[in-house]
Amino acid sequence: MLDLNSPRWRELRDAYGAAQDIPHALRELADRSSSGVWEKLWSALCHQGTVYSATYASIPHVVAIAERQSLPDQVDYWSFVGAVAAATRASAAPPDLRGDYEAALDRSAPWIMRLLASQPKDRSSVVYLLAAMAAVRGAGDLASLLEGIVDEELTGRCPACSVDVRIEPTGEGVRIAAEDSESWMEALEPPAGAPTLTDIKPETCPTWLPQLAHASGHPDLARIIATLFGRARCPSCGDAFSLLEELQRQAAE
């Protein structure tokens, strides 16, 4: 972990230029001496989804600080770590910072699981934690889609007839509407059981994401996430398509 007194910080960059002020912000985060420190760090290190060389150096410090907090106070830390992980790949980190950055992401996963297992009451916090887990375990492309569940702003397009569809999460699954008509997807049942860290891989997201949501005490959220991995039927032409693939395609445009 890069020492906060290292002159290397002056060589690193954040959103505003040289990152010599980031060590001070990290000290403020550790001491809780500034109510605006999170805004400062987000703005400088993950500005509108863009990360910088100083971001990679900062994540090990953020993780170390998070580990000293009580579980309920850790949500903001893991949300930040997840946002960074979703915005980049570890291979993009400067070589001298990459090892510590990757190790910090690995250390994040069991803490996020522990926090989810504590069953936070706030549904939005659970979604952000699920997105963070997806990101730190290599499925960062799902993070923004999961966060869309909070805002209920998912949109898509039928691949067959190109009709735009509104995709609205509900307690029973996902509602799909085109123009003035409405059609409901059949809600999929989330898989049973609680996953372990070895289960949590990008290719098994359809299983462990709903499982984690259910274990967190939010079965309605588990149903929504399970449905997102299913197939939707266009309410206009009746064609069936992969909802997740369409949402990912839209997000990439």
pLDDT in tens, 224-239: 888 888 888 887 888 8
Residue 171 in this model has a pLDDT that exceeds 80: no
Start-to-end CA distance of the chain, whole Å, equals 36
Q: What is the pLDDT of residue 191?
A: 78
In 3D space, the residue among 158, 157, 175, 179 whose CA is nearest the CA of residue 167 turns out to be 175
Q: What is the pLDDT of residue 107?
A: 97
CB 51 within 8 A of CB 43: no
Task: Say what the pTM is.
Answer: 0.88
Band the pLDDT of 149: cuts 50, 70, 90: confident
Residue 132 in this model has a pLDDT that exceeds 90: yes
Residue 163 in this model has a pLDDT that exceeds 90: no
More confident residue, 202 or 126: 126
Q: What is the pLDDT of residue 181?
A: 62
CB 190 within 8 A of CB 219: yes
In 3D space, the residue among 127, 249, 233, 116 whose CA is nearest the CA of residue 174 turns out to be 233
In 3D space, the residue among 146, 140, 165 whose CA is nearest the CA of residue 210 turns out to be 146
- pLDDT single digits (tens) 172-212: 777 777 766 666 666 677 777 888 988 899 888 889 999 99
Specify the range with the lowest mean pLDDT, choosing from 110-124, 132-146, 177-191: 177-191
Residue 153 in this model has a pLDDT that exceeds 70: no
- pLDDT single digits (tens) 59-109: 999 999 999 999 999 999 999 999 999 999 888 999 999 999 999 999 999
Q: What is the pLDDT of residue 211?
A: 93
Q: What is the pLDDT of residue 33?
A: 67
Domain boundaries, the chain: 7-118, 149-252
